[in-house]
Structure formats: C-alpha cells, structure tokens
C-alpha cells in the first residue's frame, strides 16, 4: 500500500512537471507565432509600398518623358513604317 502510494506520488509529480513544461513551450511557441504574424503584416505593408513605388516609376508620364527627353526617342512617321505580315484586309 505504501509502495503504491509512493509510486502514484512519483507519477503525479512527473505529470505536474510535464504540464508546466508543455505550458511553457506553448507560450513560447505562441509568442513566436505572434512575432511571425506581425512580421508577415509588415512584409505585406512593405509589399504594398513597393508596388506603389513600382507603379509610380512605371507611370506613362514618366516613361514618356524619359523616352523623349533623355533617350531622344520618337514615334516613326508613316513614311518610315513598313507593315510585315499583317496585310491590309
């Protein structure tokens, strides 16, 4: 009887300790999850900002200005266009 009680006490202590550890683990993991979610949100924001930046750089106004002023490009006149393949229907 005494031996059974001692055994049960040992089991009880083991269970209690494992509960404490798993609880601690769970909290640690949860904190990590929170951090990751927050980081994900930040990346999302950054992605939006990068998209915004891309859109701003790629706006036709700017592209046209650079093409005309810096690269000295122009639309070819009718005399300088040769239609290949696509014939007049």
Partner 1 sequence: MRVGAAAMPGLKRGASAPPALPRFRAPIVFALIVLLFAGLVGRSIYLQWIDNEFLQVQGSSRYSRELEVPAHRGKILDRFGDALAISTPVKSIWAFPAKVEASPEQLASLAAVLETTPQALAKKLGSGDFVYLARQLPPEAAQRVAQLKITGIHDQNEYRRFYPGGETVSHVLGFTGDQDAGQEGLELAQQEWLGGKPGSRRVIINRRGDAVEDVESIRAPQAGRDLALSIDTRLQYLAFRELKAAVEANKAKAGGMVILDVESGEILALANWPTFNPNSRNRGARDRMRNRALTDVFEPGSTMKPFTIACAIDAGKVRPDTLIDTSSGQLTIGPNTIHDAHRAGPLTVEQVIQKSSNVGAAKIALSLPSETLWRMFADAGFGTPPKTGFPGEVAGRLRPAKSWKPIEQATMAYGHGISVNLVQMARAYTVFASDGELKQVTLLKANGPVAGRPVLKPETARVVRHMLELAVQAGGTAPQAQVVGYRVAGKTGTAHKLEGRSYANKYVSSFVGLAPVSHPRLVVAVMIDEPTAGQYYGGAVAAPVFSRVMGAALRMLGVSPDAPVDNVILPPPGAEVREET
Helix (H) or strand (E) holding 51: helix 2-57
Give just the sign of the alpha carbon dihedral 23, 26, 32, 35.
negative
Q: Is 59 in the site for partner 1 (CB under 8 A)?
A: yes
Mention every residue, 6+ apart, whose C-beta is less than 8 A from residue 74. 68
Closest CB to partner 1 among 72 and 78? 78
- What is the number of alpha carbons within 13 Å of residue 23 lying toward its C-beta? 6
Report 1-30 residues binding partner 1 (CB under 8 A): 26-27, 30
Q: Is 64 in the site for partner 1 (CB under 8 A)?
A: yes
Site residues (vs partner 1, CB under 8 A) = 26-27, 30-31, 34, 41, 45, 48-49, 51-52, 54-56, 58-61, 64, 75, 78-79, 81, 83, 86, 88-89
């Amino acid at each position: 009887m005494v031996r059974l009680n001692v055994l049960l006490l040992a089991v009880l202590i083991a269970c209690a300790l494992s509960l404490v550890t798993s609880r601690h683990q769970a909290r640690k993991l949860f904190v990590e999850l929170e951090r990751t979610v927050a980081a994900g949100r930040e990346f999302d924001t950054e992605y939006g900002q990068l998209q915004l930046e891309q859109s701003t750089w790629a706006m036709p106004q700017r592209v046209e200005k650079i093409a005309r002023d810096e690269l000295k490009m122009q639309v070819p006149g009718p005399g300088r266009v040769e239609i290949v393949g696509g014939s007049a229907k």
